[in-house]
Structure 1
Amino acid sequence: MTDAGSPAGDVYDWYQRGLQLLTNRDPAAAATLLTRALQAEPGSRSLLEALGRAQYDAGRFREAIGTFSELASCNPADDYAQFGLGLAASRAGDLDLAAEHLALAVAMRPDRAHYARALRGVRARRTAESA
């Protein structure tokens, strides 16, 4: 940290360190650093995606929903944003929101088998809960 309380380096350095923290399985620290980077560069799609991943991996699913929602609003055709939003919503227990966004991700990228598996899982959970 610098004297002003900011991490050393610039926003790109923070982004790179955040990704490294994710790789090293420290998503909570990554989320903290990436949040700081996003405050310095609001609306950065790369930062939003990395932050959403960090929040999800840290079990902060409601925060991840917000971050992936913002990412999807920047580009509704971003299949990964839709997928991340769907996964976070699923883990947060909002199966209707999850199914909606996972279906969008599958429609955009039918070649991604893990998108389709996630959608099938959410639909099965909804069916089981309504039975």
Structure 2
Amino acid sequence: MDERDERVDDGVGGGAGGAVGGGGVPEQQRRSGDPAGDVYEWFRRGAKLLAQGNPAAAEQLLARAAAAEPASRSIRESLARAQFDAGSYAAALENFRTVALADPSDDYAQFGWGVAAARLGDFESSAEHLALAVAMRPDADHYRAALRQTRATLAARAGAFGPLLPGAPGYLEPPRGRASGQEPGTTAGPEPTGERDRRDG
């Protein structure tokens, strides 16, 4: 996914989830195996790993941060980006969806919801959320490109560009059997007339 400017203005480290004193997790509540530092540090390190192209490692840190600060949209959005880049599209969709439902005017969350839905094959939902993102930010080329691609896929599935050719995504083999002039139980098509004529002649 395209990179997004970090947003740390929604109370990362100072809201719900049991954090104290500037985002730290109380020592008595820290589970064994938690990474060193506080929630804000987990968020910053996770965002850095994501920017460096390590989405799986970023996802681990950001998931810890999101568990500690479930109301933070910045953490959840970064987690969704890491999950998307790591190929966990269903998890990414749920986190983008959570951010978008909390703030329907968040164009990037709508975009993320749309592209994650497309990766999962739900092009109707994808088109809906990508259209919202484009309406909010019509100048974003990558938003418009994603919407065009989703709409083209929907049109192709509806047959707007003619029949799909063999080998194309979504192509279905024609039915076999009586409808295609074959005898029941056979799989080969009718033999060419020329072959029959040569044998009979």
Q: Distance in 2 between matches of 1:94 and 1:28?
A: 24
* % identical aligned pairs: 55
* Residue 140 of structure 2: aligned partner: 112
CA RMSD of aligned residues (A): 1.2
1:6 aligns with 2:31: no
Paired AA for residue 128 in structure 2: E
Shift of the 123–37 alpha-carbon distance from structure 1 to 2, 3 Å rule, reads same
Question: Going by fraction, where is helix more abundant, 1 or 2?
Answer: 1
- 1:21 pairs, out of 49, 63, 68, with 49
Is 1:41 matched up with 2:69?
A: yes
Q: Which amino acid aligns with 1:34?
A: L
Q: Are residue 81 (structure 1) and residue 109 (structure 2) matched?
A: yes
* Distance in structure 2 (CA, Å) of the matches to 1:65 and 1:120: 20
TM-score normalised over the length of structure 1: 0.95
Q: Structure 1 stretches of 5 or more lacking a match?
A: none
The one-character-per-residue Cα deviations of 1:36-74 (angstroms, maximum 9, x if unpaired) are 101111110110110010000001101111000000011
Letter in 1 for 2:117: A
Aligned-pair CA distance for 1:129: 1.5
Matches within 5 A, 1:85-100: 85-100=113-128
Question: One-letter code of the match for 2:56?
Answer: A
How many angstroms apart in 1 are the aligned matches of 2:95 and 2:158? 29
C-alpha separation between the residues in 1 aligned to 2:63 and 2:45?
A: 12
Deviation at 1:4, TM superposition (A): 2.0
Change over 3 Å in CA distance of 1:3–1:42 after alignment to 2: closer
Where in structure 2 are there 5+ consecutive unaligned residues?
A: 1-29, 160-201
1:115 partner amino acid? Y
Q: How many residues align?
A: 130
The equivalent residue for 2:88 is 60
Match of 1:103 in 2: 131
Cα deviation for residue 3 of structure 1 reads 7.6
Runs of 4+ in 1 over 2 A off after TM superposition: none
- The structure whose Rg is larger is 2
- TM normalised by structure 2 equals 0.63
> Partner residue of 2:172?
none
